[in-house]
Amino acid sequence: MSYKKRSDLALKMIGEQLVIIDSKIGKAVHRLNDVGVFIWDLIESSSSDEILAKLMDEFEVDEAEARADLKQFVADLEALQLIEKSHE
């Protein structure tokens, strides 16, 4: 499964957090921690399996934990309408 980020979001790195400003939906502000930023940076260019492997390597977590965290994070991004499934 591949995803596409919304192109109208404003992004700003503050320390190790990424702040996403969504002016389309009432100027909502979302903050991503270092793991969230890692996934965000890969989400358009990598498959879920590729992101999973990179997460396990980068953060030294087991597959079950990484898979559950990735699934929840992607579901959260979709629910917030920050990403959508790509049909490419």
Domain range summary for the chain, segments of one domain joined by +: 3-82
Question: Check: CATH 1.25.40 for 3-82?
Answer: no
Closest CA to 2 of 50, 34, 64, 72: 50
Predicted confidence pLDDT, tens digits, the chain (88 residues) = 789 999 999 999 999 999 999 988 767 899 999 999 999 999 999 999 999 999 999 999 999 999 999 999 999 999 999 999 887 6
- Per-residue pLDDT at 79: 94
CA dihedral 42→48→50→51, nearest 10 degrees, is 50
What is this structure's pTM?
0.89
